[in-house]
Each structure stands twice: as structure tokens, then as C-alpha cells.
Amino acid sequence: MDPMELLRPQRDTTGLIRDLEIRAVNPAFEAATGRRAADLVGQGLASSFPEMDPGIFESFCAVADGSTPLSLNSVPLRSAIHAGTVHFFDVRAVRLDIDLLLVTYRDVTDQVQAVERLKHSENLYRLVSDTSNDLVLIVAQDTIVWSSPASERLLGLLPETLIGQDWTAWIDPEHREEMGAFRTQLVTTSHGTTRTKVMGADGTRHWVSMTAGPYTDDRGHPIGFLITLRLIDAEVAAEDRTRALLRQRELILTNAPVGVFRLRLYPDAVKTDYITERGERLLIGRRGTCLPLRCLTDGTVSAADVDELWARAAEAASTGGPVVCDVEGDDALGWIRITAYVSRDTDGNLIIDGVIEDITRLRQHEVALQTETLAAMDRAERLQRQVNLEKSVIASLGHDLRTPLSTIMSSASALNSSDTRLTDLERCELSRGIAASAERLSQLIESLIDLRRIETGGFTARLESTTLLAVLEAPLGRVLVPIELDIPTDLPDLLADRALLERSVENLIDNAVRHSPQGVPVLVRGRRNGDAIDLEIIDSGEGVPAELYEDMFSPFRRLNGTTRGGLGLGLPIAKGFAEAMGMTLTPSATPGGGLTMTLRIRTTHG
């Protein structure tokens, strides 16, 4: 029989072998091996396929010798078509005659390679599962059927001890209720991710991230779930710390006495990221030229505002200093201060983090401090003027004391000199000079004593009934210049300390005489004013500006640069004695020029 008649019906790669030599091959054989039939026919099997395993060749020999039929799987043969790569064939040999074999080759290279890849994948997966810190479980019907070695690290349990257990047995009891919802999710979607706590063999608890997916058989039918657990204690702790910090930050911002805000500047807009409730309260009802304030309160910001804010913020960002503006409010709002710090985000946009604080009290303290400083400066200036004045008065006092003393000493020396012959008239004049100078000294000393008594409160007014004319008798008797008197005779009796009132009136008249032009009499006038009597001492001098009225009653004070005699004690003494008796002493301008001093005296009817 023609060998080709046997080969043509064969679809697989087929050849005829006789005496271990290739006698014929079909076209499929040529396509599979990449060799032409002419090159193979007549060749020995061993020399044609040297890559065949010696054991396989011996099997062919056994068949040729009449042994059992040959059936070999995955025999490697090299294929020229595939650039020298090795292909695998399932080989079947059937004896047709005593020395003739029909050999069929079926290419199973794809299956062999698939098996090899599967083995490689299994090896890789085993390597990963054995070395990974993640615990991998295969669960079928809620029972663990396989566990990776990580169970010992995570749970303190060997993998074999987990097999056969319910897969939720090691879940923290406080979280098992959550697992019911997770199981429902797996049944519904076959996939799921959750967080839970697991409990180890020693009772320790750990946070894990649990991911589950379907586990299938070779035909792709689901038979369970593949569950992976990853330890996330550090992540959860970090999240807890972050949440605590955020809560603390929120608490601080909520209860802080200042408001906090953040503005984000884009090239064409300004956005308020956030502003605390305290900040919003401080901004209620405020408007102003402060740029951050406008951005926070106006709602819409013009392009010019954006440009200006960019310019100012960019400058602040380059210098590192804050932008500070104080915003004045009305009596109800008070003052606020906005302090803004500038930085940039990862996109280069400017971020303005600001603080809004109520500085009303600070402003009030600043104003009070400024007022107090000015008052202190004024007091210091007044004190310096007083010191300078007292120095001048002390010098004047020395002069006022030396003048009468010199008169007394020179007159006494002349009277006592045996070398000088004096007439009776001359002796009388010298004696009167001594008496006048002594009286002047007595007045000076008495004035100083009176001032000291007033300053220390070292006297008590003894009020009794008297008349105005009786009080004026002694002061008028000591005045050497004409006095114009206008005293009605029907005035009621006074209630006063006569000695103190006489001293007050005498000082007032003396002051008026010294400031009146020579030859112009001083007017002393009394008139009734309700239950009191107003005694007016009126001069026609230069007068005193109203703003200096208060200074007139300061000791040692001389107004208008006067050079007239006196220590400037008369008016302070007069006022001090008057107030001690419950009276008032008031200066006013004399019509036509001069000064009028009005002493309001209580009557016995008042």
C-alpha cells in the first residue's frame, strides 16, 4: 500500500516509521516541524530529532520490537518555523505491520506553557504570601480553608489552627456586628473593603484594613472569598491624632478671643476659605478702606482690589512681615486690628492667614496713657514754673526783708550815734521809719505764718455776729491812700470770724491799692445779695485775663510780670481764710478796666 494513502486522512501531524526510519510524513507534519518531507524521509528518527529524550527514543524502539503500544505526552521537538523554539507534542504510535508504525503528533505547546505559567504564578503567590505582612485567607461557606503564614505575626496563631474556623471568630467582639453588614455586602457584590479590629491569641487588639474578593474554581465558578487583612494601627493612630488636633484647633478657634480667617488670592479673584464665628461677629457692621476688611465684608471684590491685594500681599510675602491695619468703629463697635500673614500654596497662589482682634480697650488705654502723659507733662511744667517762681520769690523775700531791716538798722544807728546831732523833728522821722519798717516785717512774717496755717489746716474759724463796718474799720485805718467807701447802713449783721475776715479784707484792699493807678482811689462797696452780703473791692488797674484767674490764688504768683512789691501771698491768704469761714471769693473784670474781687459773706439770717 502507498504510505501516503494512510497519511492523507490524518488531520494531526502524522508520519510512518519503519525500522526507526521515517518513511513518509503528511503536510501537517511539515508545517509543525518546519522541515520538508524530502529532508525527513529516509532519515533515522534519532538523527532527525536529536533533541528527543533518550527515554522517548527507547520507547519507540520498544514499540518497534513489538512491546506495548506507545503513548507519550508532551514530547519536546524543535521547530524551525518558530525560530528554534521548542514545541511540545503528544505522541501516539500504533503498529500497522511488523516493522511499520503510524506515529501521530498533536501540538500541545500552548497547554504546556499555560501549565508552566500557572506553576510560576503559584510559586510567586506562595512567595508573596509567605513573606508578606498582610494576612491572606481563603474562605468557603464562612469557614477558613487556607491561611497565609502572616496569621502568626498578626494573630499569634499558626495557619493550620485557623483552618476550619469561622472567619469572624478572631474579630473584636465590639466590631462583630459590623461584620454582619460586611457579609451582606459580599453576598450582594462579591467585593468589599472595611476597617475593623482583630483580637490576637494573647488578647491584644489591632486595627486592620480588610479587602475581600471572589475566589473561583478552574471553571470560573465562585466557591468562596479571598480576604486580605493589612495591619493599620499606625495609620489609625495618626488619624486619631489628626482628628484630636483638628478638634483642638476647632475648639481653640471657637473659643479664642480673636477671629481667624484665610483668604486665597487667585489671579482674577479672592476667595474666603474660612472665617471663625468670632471673626464674623467682630466684622458685623464694619466698612472701611482696609483692604483685607473689604475682601471679607464686601462680598464682591473689584479687579482693582485684587490687583492691590496681590501687590501688597506679594510685598509682604517677600519681606516675611505681616500686614497690619487698625479699623476704627463707632461707640458701639469700637476698634479692631487685622493682622495678616502671607504665604504661597503649591500652585503659586497667595494665601492670607489673618487674625482679627478687638483692640478697643487697648486704644482706650493708649488714649488714657496719652492723656495722662500730657497731664504729667503739664504738671511737670507747672511744677517747674512754680519752682522757678519760688526761687524768684525767695530772692524777692530776701530783698523785702532786707529793705525794712536796713531802714531799722540805719535809723537806729543814727539815733544811737553820739557823733550826730539830730533835731527833734529828725528823731521823730527816724522813729516813725523804724516803726513802719518793723510793721512791714511783722506783716511779712505774719503772711508767711498765715499761709502755713492755711496749707496745714492749723486753725479753726470761730464764727460770731458782727457788722461789715466794724470789720472794715481796722483795714481801712491802715491804708495810707484814699479809699472810696459805699456801704449801706441797713445791711444785716455778718456771721464770721472777725479776725480772719479782717485779714482777708486787708489783703484784698492792699492788692487793689498796689494795682490801681496812682491817685485813683479803690472802691469798697457792700450790697445785699439774698441772705448774704457781697463785699466788692474794685480797682481800676490793668486787670487780669480770665484764663489766669485760677493762677491768682497760687502762692508766690505774680501776674503780668509786675514789679510791684509783695510776695504774692495776699490773695491766697484771703481766699484760704474766706473758705475756712464758708465764704467764696470770686474775681471778675471791672467795667472800663481793672479787677473786682467779690467776697460773699454769710449773714446771721442765712
**Quick one: 132-237 is in which CATH superfamily?**
PAS domain (3.30.450.20)
CATH 1.10.3470 fits 256-358, yes or no: no
CA 328 to CA 367: how far, in whole Å?
14
Dihedral of CA 542/548/550/553: which sign? Answer: negative
83: left (phi over 0), alpha (psi -120 to 50) or beta: left
> Whose CA is closest to 577, among 460, 471, 473?
460
User: In 10 A of CB 171, how many CB atoms?
Assistant: 20
Tens of pLDDT along 71-119? 555 555 544 444 456 677 777 777 777 667 777 777 777 887 887 887 8
* CATH superfamily of the 3-113 domain: PAS domain (3.30.450.20)
Residue 69: CB atoms within 10 Å:
11
| Domain-wise residue ranges, the chain | 3-113, 132-237, 256-358, 364-438, 459-602
Residue 556, CB half-sphere, CA atoms under 13 Å: how many?
16
pLDDT > 90: what percent of the chain? 19
Backbone angles phi and psi of 261, in degrees to 5: -145, 165
Q: Over 60: is that where the pLDDT of 265 sits?
A: yes
As given in the structure block, the three cell numbers for residue 302 are: 473689584
Element (H, E) at 147: strand 143-147
**Across all residues in the chain, what is the average pLDDT?**
80
Task: Label residue 276 exposed, middle or buried (CB < 10 Å: 0-12, 13-18, 19+).
Answer: buried
- Same-fold call for 256-358 versus 459-602: no
Q: Which residues contact 434 (CB under 8 A, 6 or more apart)?
A: 407, 408, 411, 412
Lowest mean pLDDT among 429-443, 492-506, 538-552, 553-567: 553-567
E strand or H helix that includes residue 398: helix 360-416
Residues 385-414 have a mean pLDDT of 72
Question: What's the pLDDT at 80?
Answer: 42
Which residue matches cell numbers 474799720? 473
Q: What is the pLDDT of residues 8-33, one digit of tens each?
A: 666 666 777 777 788 888 777 777 76
Return the pLDDT at 51.
63
Burial class (CB in 10 A: 0-12, 13-18, 19+), 378: exposed
Top-confidence residue, 127 or 222: 222
Angle CA 555–459–394, to nearest 5: 25
What pLDDT, on the 0 to 100 scale, is given for residue 79? Answer: 45
**Which residues lie closer than 8 Å to 234 by C-beta, 6 or more apart?**
none
CA 88 to CA 13: how far, in whole Å? 12
Give the model confidence (pLDDT) of 506-539 as tens digits. Answer: 889 988 998 889 889 999 999 999 999 999 999 9
CATH architecture of the region 459-602: 2-Layer Sandwich (3.30)
Predicted confidence (pLDDT) per residue in 191-217, tens digit: 889 999 999 999 999 999 999 998 887
The residue length of the chain stands at 606
Q: What is the pTM of this model?
A: 0.38
